[in-house]
Structure 1
Amino acid sequence: MQPFLALLALACAAGSTAEQHWCYEIQAKEPNSNCIAPAQWPGDCQKNHQSPINIDTSKAKVNPNLKPFTFTGYNQKKKWEVVNDKHSVKVLLGDGISIAGGDLPAQYQAEQLHLHWSKESDRGSEHSIDGKHFAMEMHIVHKKEPSSNEVQGAKDNIAVLAFMVKVGDQVNEGFQPLVEALSHISTPNTNTTMKESSLQNMLPQKEKLVHYFRYQGSLTTPDCSETVIWTVFQEPIKLNQNQFQEFSTKLYYDQERKLNMKDNVRPLQQLGDRQVFRSRAPGQLLSLPLPTLLIPTLTCLVASFLQ
């Protein structure tokens, strides 16, 4: 009898563990919820070099090595698979898309992009800039191309490009294929194929992509592995209000369609002993406000005139 009871207890414990999964705060607050809220996420999530963070632009140091990226395959038009993975909408990017430059130690292959959002336009981004959150945040996740000397779990194995998204007046045609796909993946673990689209058409103009911030951090979902080189671009993507609202109205966390997918955002983490760096765009002389630059110049001109 005792061995049977022991096996029964083990089976119950295993069943309980299987039922529990990580979730966002909005899900954990639901009645009868059995998921793990962000404060208790497992893995590396309780370590000290976590993401997302608030980026204080006044404390970001200029790094002259943060030069423009080389985007390969970003202009290719493809019909990507898009998935509701229970936590976000994910676009599977496949092969042939990569980045280099930007002071990255190697070439990185794009794997997927996903988004974080809220129903409100000022709380949907994971990162904040000078304390300001945006409507959404898009992450393009790249993995370092394998090499003979690659170290498992190295701090630079993943490179994520993060784009803030704000609400504007005009329809963003580059985002429209993704927006139109949302109604076909309303419930978890469903997928569809987007209309032909390119990554380049979803992003700000290329000349704007020279302004960005850089820091070392983690994945923003469990296991929160601290293996990510983060690049957070200064120029936001702009979506029309209707396009923005489609994400929080068409997608659901559950099969029963009781809880709309929104607020899929990890709370801000402490920067700790890390340093945030910023790029210096070509032709950018000094990161000083215009009056600071003009006053000495005008003083010299007046002095020369009076001599």
Structure 2
Amino acid sequence: MQLLLALLALAAAGHWASSADLHWCYDIQKIHDSSCLAPEQWEWNCQKKRQSPIDIKTSEAKVNSDLSPFSFSGYDKKGKWSVTNNGHTVMVQLDGQAWIEDGGLDSKYQATQLHLHWSQEPGKGSEHSLDGTFKAMEMHIVHQKKRGTSRSRRALQDTQEDNIAVLAFLVEAGPQNDNFQPLVNALSAISKPKSNTTMAEEVSLFDLLPEKEKLKNYFRYLGSLTTPSCDETVVWTVFQEPIRLHSQQIFAFSEKLFYDDQKKVNMTNNFRPLQLLEGRVVYKSRAPEQLLPLALTTLLAPALTYLTVGSL
């Protein structure tokens, strides 16, 4: 069973962070290595029309009543996870015991790994943006679809458009986040690419996320992997509530990790530029709560006072 889980994790990692022979890179790496392919040069599936990331215009997202709260299984399980610098990001291999379902998903999905994107510049670093605004980082929890768990006839169709489900969390500066510190502490041991370590302390996925009650509000669209080969196989969930880390915790990723063995090029700005929506529809889990207009509130106040006094 452990071997099977390891193979699943490696398969997902292989999709998300493609092998070195593709020799793709981010713009900041292109400055130091002219032979690598920067984002505008990516080929494979990267030139298709259902690509990620995108800018989410929150007022234009359509409410979808099927986007119910997620059911999380194993997200509370703590573990000392394996952490790797894969040359493009820091990747945490999960143990295969965490799952998600519901949330408008057609099947059950197994968590295989999580990774992050970031910058050392304020207001820059996330891959997705909300109304044109970027955050300092973005964390992706990658899930693989479990065959045979579909609840609709779509499972009979020859399609892979929802083979992977990614939960995306924007990260902004805030107070010290002690739950994230075990991962931050592990960065010093994986400064060079292809190096790995194990967290010194146990952490659960729920430890890293906003409060569960705040995970009901999210956006949904169909897209792609954000690294080559940019396969259009991802159902994206971008949560409205951000994760908050202290600025020093955020900067640690750019300061302690490197793209190269010589430790000359800091690992930062590892995000893909925004892609065109190309006619796709972005959905949201529910309409934002509407406040009563001020004038109506003023009119209702005396009536509410009268009713309250009358009931005494």
When normalised by structure 1's length, the TM-score is 0.86
Residue aligned with 1:137, SS: strand
Pair member with larger Rg: 1
User: Against the structure 1 CA distance between its residues 144 and 234, is the aligned structure 2 distance closer, same or farther, given a 3 Å change threshold?
Assistant: same
Distance 2:266 2:54 in 1: 26
Q: Give 1:33 deviation, angstroms.
A: 2.6
Alpha-carbon displacement from aligned partner over 1:56-85 (angstroms, at most 9, x marks no partner):
011011111111101111100101100000
Q: CA deviation at 1:147?
A: 2.6
Match of residue 26 from structure 1? 28
Alpha-carbon distance in structure 2 between the residues aligned to 1:152 and 1:251: 41
Residue 255 of structure 2 is aligned to residue 253 of structure 1: no
Task: Kindly indicate whether the alpha-carbon contact (under 8 Å) linking 1:121 and 1:166 is maintained by their aligned counterparts in 2.
Answer: no
Question: Shift in Å at residue 242 of structure 1?
Answer: 1.2
Root-mean-square deviation (Å):
2.2
Q: Deviations over 1:94-119 (max 9, x none)?
A: 21111001010000000100000000
Residue 22 of structure 1 aligns with an amino acid whose one-letter code is W
Query: Where does residue 78 of structure 2 map in the other structure?
Result: 77
Once the two structures are superposed, the pairs formed by residues 23-62 of structure 1 within 5 Å of their partners are 23-30=25-32, 32-62=33-63
Deviation of 1:287 (Å): 3.4
Superposition map of 1:99-248 within 5 A: 99-147=100-148, 154-168=160-174, 170-194=175-199, 195-248=201-254
Q: CA deviation at 1:289?
A: 4.4
Secondary structure at the residue paired with 1:290?
coil
* Unpaired runs of at least 5, structure 2: 1-19, 150-154, 304-312
Runs (4 or more) in structure 1 with deviation over 3 Å come to 148-153, 286-289, 294-303
Give the structure 2 partner of residue 270 of structure 1: 276
Q: By how many angstroms is 1:259 displaced?
A: 0.2
State the 1:179 CA deviation. Answer: 0.3
Does 1:92 pair with 2:93? yes
Distance 1:200 1:150, change over 3 A: farther
Distance in 2 separating the partners of 1:49 and 1:20: 21
Name the SS for the 2:140 alignment partner. strand
How many matched pairs? 280
Distance in 1, Cα, partners of 2:141 & 2:48: 23
Map Cα deviations across residues 206-241 of structure 1 (whole Å, 9 max, x no partner). Answer: 011011000110000001011100000000000011
1:279 aligns with one of 277, 285, 289: 285
Deviations along 1:166-216, whole A, 9 cap, x unmatched?
011x21111111000000000000000012111101000001101100011
Distance in 1 (alpha carbons) for counterparts of 2:301 and 2:210: 40
CA gap 1:152/1:183 in 2 versus in 1, 3 angstroms? farther
Unpaired segments of 5 or more residues in structure 1?
A: 1-17, 281-285
Give the distance between the partners of 1:131 and 1:67, measured in 2 at CA: 26
Q: Aligned equivalents of 1:135 and 1:299: distance in 2?
A: 43
The structure-2 alpha-carbon separation of the partners of 1:274 and 1:250, relative to structure 1 and needing over 3 Å to count, comes to: same
Correspondence 1:291-306 to 2 at 5 A? 291-292=292-293, 295=295
Distance 1:108 1:141 in 2: 9
Report SS of the residue matched to 1:204. Answer: coil
Percent of matched pairs sharing the same residue: 55
Cα gap change, 1:151/1:186 in structure 2, threshold over 3 Å: closer, same or farther?
farther
